[in-house]
Structure 1
């Protein structure tokens, strides 16, 4: 997750500095997200067929190869040649990240202590720490770009990740499933309505984040903070990386704290399903109000930048509770036999939401700037609320 966050910032800021438009920047991440959709859809079956440890090793190894390949990018290539190459490498990176993530999330269901409170706590700690580390990666990527440069940064990350892969292979604990030969790909598609509606809600929850997070906010802040000089660009890189890092670390911290905030140990699954509806309803208001404010303000101003930062941090905290609830509910809804299948399907929906948000981020910013990104986020959250509203509480499920 550290290398994933760092790589995202390196690619975004490096290619923006080369003159890429918001839509072109979004294209760089499209194959990354498409790969996430395909990987998560198939990874559940692959893990059920071949075992969780193999998918984890494959994810780490592929990320090392993707980083090395990115270092081979030649500045002399044509614009669209560079775009195509980076899209392909980002696609491989997306496969790597999602193989590793699906493996770790599925293992929680199998290794967590019995009882609802224990499962929610483990899920929250895993997802919270993962996102906190990814947030540190955003800052690391921005700092490395300013200090070491693009090529040195990606090669350094490849070396560190290769060492981590070796350590994981040497000290992997026993007890994870080895796979079963009879697993069929058709089993990936769940027949549980709660799994399907939760996945629907997840698509639009994460789309609502990425529609402003991927392109809109970094480019808006770059336009506001950079004066066009090399020193100004470096300062802008650091400020943008710091914001993305703080936002993601806050998101991870709130995720880890969510079970206590929601008093999960003393509440039923049905109560937590109802909470998922309430929290996404509250989240809708944040981007809607920010969109109106930014549109009404017209020109960027220091006070407006401060309000946007504060508003998006509030968004991050409320979003984290929603995300943590979803991460618990998918494991509560599934069974031990289907865990890799259902988790893979759910994270396929997660990746589809990121893909949709990525595409709309560049397009929305190109057409209407930051207000359009934020307004689109509010609409997507309304759709997520619809999906959460269709979830059945435990005592009414057949």
Structure 2
């Protein structure tokens, strides 16, 4: 009876709230399979003898098509509605998973790269749709920006926590079921989510009043362009050591099992996601009951401060590894610190783009911003395999620190736009 009462209560919620919950559940399910698939591919193909650079190349098209998808997907969402782009993303992820069900001998590098390309398109369609839909559902003339920051942080943080659980799930499924059976389990679960989403998401969600032309895909907003450049460097700085270099390093240098590697990375991303949900409190001293801001809160200045703080951490980890000072413990603690500070940077950026984006056709600006995000991941992924194979993890960390210094310098431009939480 309690389950029935909860279902009835959900049905009595306002339509925007129900749509928000549905989009969030959709995004969660997709993220869970995406994180698991990433860990499955990295660990499985490392077992087959692939080098770090070869594993990085498996994700090359995943990241490259993320760049294209975000650029075009924002325009597409503004024209046909975010409900259609979100469902399209889920459907493409089902295709990508199905492609990996072939016998292992047929899973050649070009085939896996093609599957990852489709998965990259799916992921960014889904993410762009979810982030854009928040502004459409949450903001109205009576709302304040503090409420927007709260909901953006909640969605982003919960998504990343589930991505971490996905890493754990991927390692666990690979250990217990093997590669093919693990893919089949994920395919079955995501198919159910897709069917529910097809019949439940509201038609025309996020569709612009005036159909944008294709030439409008590039943002004309100075604030969006500066933020996008900072985002590119921020994510390149993370992925240069996180995507390939770190899992392989933990396995080869410290002798960690796949289960332990997957568990550690899962806990890292879960913690990272939990910190993101608290970003409004930690960066802006927001009162969550009244949704007002603390004294002279300036998100642009906060972005500069936290990017500068983050730049120090990979440099510190690199020094500890070079000096052989408690390498295993030092690396683990350093990674936890990096995850916490990176989470605040990422959450601030996620709020700022939704705040800066134009209300009509919000997906255009959000899509452009996540295009830069995907370009940063692409750069970081390629460098992760190449730099690690040539010079090792320490070199990856030093380059990461340099990229974060560039992020800090770019973010100074955001401080010129004093975007407060009360507008």
1:232 alignment partner in structure 2? none
Structure 2: segments with no counterpart, 5+ residues: 1-30, 287-291
Deviation at 1:25, TM superposition (A): 0.7
Q: Check conservation: 1:50, 1:180, Cα contact below 8 A.
A: no
1:58 alignment partner in structure 2? 88
Q: Deviations over 1:272-302 (max 9, x none)?
A: 11000000000000000111111221xxx9x
Distance 1:236 1:381, change over 3 A: same
2:192 alignment partner in structure 1? 163
Distance 1:335 1:133, change over 3 A: same
* Residue 355 of structure 1 pairs with residue 385 of structure 2: no
Distance 1:192 1:32, change over 3 A: same
Pairs within 5 Å for 1:7-26: 7-26=37-56
* Residue 236 of structure 1 pairs with residue 257 of structure 2: yes
SS of alignment partner, residue 390 of structure 1: helix
Pairs within 5 Å for 1:33-72: 33-72=63-102
Greater mean alpha carbon deviation, residues 111-120 or residues 8-17: 111-120
Distance, in Å, in 2 between the alignment partners of 1:308 and 1:392 is 33
Q: Check conservation: 2:231, 2:376, Cα contact below 8 A.
A: yes
Distance, in Å, in 2 between the alignment partners of 1:237 and 1:145 is 9
Q: Deviations over 1:201-255 (max 9, x none)?
A: 00010011101110111000111343xxxxxxxx711111111111111111011
* Residue 125 of structure 1 pairs with residue 143 of structure 2: no
Distance, in Å, in 2 between the alignment partners of 1:278 and 1:392 is 10
Deviation at 1:338, TM superposition (A): 3.8
Distance, in Å, in 1 between the alignment partners of 2:295 and 2:110 is 49
Task: Let me know the Cα RMSD of the aligned residues.
Answer: 1.8
Distance 1:283 1:65, change over 3 A: same
Deviation at 1:31, TM superposition (A): 0.4
Q: Check conservation: 2:40, 2:174, Cα contact below 8 A.
A: yes
Deviation at 1:172, TM superposition (A): 2.3
SS of alignment partner, residue 266 of structure 1: coil
Deviation at 1:306, TM superposition (A): 1.4
Greater mean alpha carbon deviation, residues 183-192 or residues 347-356: 183-192
Q: Check conservation: 2:245, 2:385, Cα contact below 8 A.
A: yes
Distance, in Å, in 2 between the alignment partners of 1:305 and 1:240 is 13
TM-score in terms of structure 1 length: 0.92
Q: Check conservation: 1:207, 1:353, Cα contact below 8 A.
A: yes
Distance, in Å, in 2 between the alignment partners of 1:180 and 1:92 is 30
Deviation at 1:392, TM superposition (A): 4.5
Deviation at 1:173, TM superposition (A): 4.5
Q: Deviations over 1:61-87 (max 9, x none)?
A: 110111011111x4335xxx7111111
Greater mean alpha carbon deviation, residues 248-257 or residues 106-115: 106-115
Structure 1: segments with no counterpart, 5+ residues: 227-234
